[in-house]
Amino acid sequence: ARLAVLASGRGSNLEALLRAFPPEDALGQVVLVISDRRGAPALQKAARAGVEAEYLPWPKGEGGRACFEEAAGQLLRERRIDLVLLAGFMRILSPQFVDQWAGRILNIHPSLLPAFPGLHAQRQALQAGVRETGCTVHFVDAGVDTGPIILQRRVPVLPGDTEETLSARILEQEHLAYPEAVRRVLRGEVQP
């Protein structure tokens, strides 16, 4: 299966996916990386791995999203992408776009959804005083961090944790969770 990753920033989940799904993999191969940020580290990581890396602008104001989605949709079709993986993609896609990819678009989020959706999930967990949090890979639907859950990995919240230490502990699990979730979807073991 041909995989595309959409990433806005650092791209550590992208790196985990590139390692798990290299060009010669029988199950899936990351063949395209798209970013809405010019010069995103994610684009450099893709290029270094020899994978096509495309910057597509998300212009400010009304019509910005439509502009991005038009270009992204065309590229995804041209490259015959089977599965779209959001990995630190910091934009909300339209319900129409998400519907076109229903069951074929995944996201990773740094909390045990449905707890702590949206921005700063790790900070939200600390502020709530929970003793356990983690990460979730889920199918994307029209909501923000909603959609059927594929898998979760849990981590403890430890005394003295800061947003940084907790985020790092969760991130380690993200890098295991995302490839595993993609494998399950590609093997047809889970459906939305």
Give the residues lining the site for ligand GRF (CB under 6 A).
7, 9-14, 87-88, 108-110, 171, 174
Distances (CA, A) of 65 to 21, 72, 108, 175: 29, 10, 21, 28
Minimal distance in Å, beta carbon 7 to ligand GRF? 6
28 known member of a binding site: no
Residue 109 among the catalytic residues: yes
DSSP E strands, the chain:
2-6, 29-35, 52-55, 83-86, 105-109, 132-139, 149-156
The single residue of 109, 120, 138, 175 carrying the catalytic annotation is 109
Minimal distance in Å, beta carbon 1 to ligand GRF? 21
- Dihedral, CA atoms, 138, 142, 144, 146, nearest 10 degrees? -40
Are the C-beta atoms of residues 58 and 70 closer than 8 Å to each other? no
Q: How far apart are CA 102 and CA 96, in angstroms?
A: 10
Q: How far apart are CA 185 and CA 147, in angstroms?
A: 14
What is the Cβ-side half-sphere exposure of residue 156, based on CA atoms within 13 angstroms? 3
Q: How far apart are CA 89 and CA 81, in angstroms?
A: 17
13 known member of a binding site: yes
Minimal distance in Å, beta carbon 53 to ligand GRF? 14
92 known member of a binding site: yes
Q: What are phi and psi of 52, to 5 degrees?
A: -55, 125
Minimal distance in Å, beta carbon 45 to ligand GRF? 9
129 known member of a binding site: no
Query: What are the structure tokens assigned to 8, written together?
Result: 């806005």
107 known member of a binding site: yes
> Residue 66 or residue 119: which is nearer to ligand GRF going by CB?
119
Which residue ranges are tagged as binding site? 11-13, 65, 90-93, 107
**Residues carrying an active site annotation:** 109
